[in-house]
Amino acid sequence: MVQKIALEEHVMTPGLAEYWLPTMSELPKPAAENFFNRLNDFGGRRIEEMDKGGITKAVLSVAGPGVQAERDAALATKKSREANDQLAVEIQKHPDRYAGFAHIAVQDPKNAADELERCIRDLKFCGVMINGHTNGMYLDNALFDPFWERVNALGATVYIHPADPVSQMPVLEGFKVLSRPMWGWGVETGSHALRLIVGGHFERFPNAKLMLGHLGETLPFLLWRLDSRAKFQGLKLPKPPSDYIKRNVFVTTSGMCALEPLRCSIDAMGLSNVLFAADYPFEDAAEAGHWMDTVAISDAERAAVAYDNAVKVLKL
């Protein structure tokens, strides 16, 4: 069993359940209650599940949408700071098993920048998770530049987690099964990342690191086509999109326990850009861990993806 650090492991902190519960409205009540109970568990059951999967450390993050759904900027800022303080307390109860991603309200970009720096320098968090768009605004919006300037200065990692789109794509109407994790969230989140990439974001903020789950929301599969169509359409960037993806984007295995997309991601982006995640409690940590132990890749690749890359990228 190889050592593992898992990077998309969700929790709930007091004051944020009101944003999360509506996203579970279509689930049977027992399933939603089970998720909620596991999100709020920072001790026995969570660590037991980690042990079953051989997960040495979990990087904890607030389940979305969190404060990204709050329209009052002052309240969002207040709640994000409270959530980070509460998460830090829980991490300190098991510092050898847990690390944290900050929960940031970008509604107030200057305060968001300060909170990110506080979380990294004082609370010792290893990056930030943003739960998709913030009230319809994506992270390429120029209003968020003060936040990105601090991300760039710190060399920080911003993990974009899926969220429901502002409006559903008409092609998915009548097919609820496609609208969220099965397909729609990947389209939404991959598109969010591409806005940053083709918008020249990583020319302006070259030290910023972007992280995506689900082995990159299909982006590793599309690198050649992204470059081909960017050239064809006259995209004015110093480098092709794939260069920025290979330099600034990192992907995790959350919710993707299959050799073929893993092999594609390693070969397309480079071994150092692919990291392990389980997506607990929405996926089975023991299943993800067993898959990482047995998937048909080399021992060197397994060690890098499962553990070593997280140590290097997130300075764990």
Helix crossing, 285-294 with 44-52: angle to 10°? 20
Catalytic residue among 108, 140, 164, 279: 279
157 forms beta bridges with 209
- Residue 246 to residues 22, 125, 134, 138: CA-CA distances in angstroms? 36, 24, 26, 22
User: CB-based contacts of 79: which residues, under 8 Å, 6+ apart?
Assistant: 15, 16, 67, 70, 105
DSSP 86-109: HHHHHHHHSTTTEEE-EE--TTSH
**Do 86 and 13 meet the contact criterion of CB atoms below 8 Å apart?**
yes
Greatest Cα pair distance in the chain = 55
Give residue 228's region: left, alpha or beta (phi > 0; psi -120 to 50).
Answer: alpha
**Do 196 and 210 meet the contact criterion of CB atoms below 8 Å apart?**
yes
Residue 307 is classified by DSSP as I
Catalytic residue check, 279: yes
Distance CA 194, CA 92 (A): 36
**Do 66 and 50 meet the contact criterion of CB atoms below 8 Å apart?**
no
Distance CA 276, CA 156 (A): 18
Supply the residues annotated as catalytic.
279
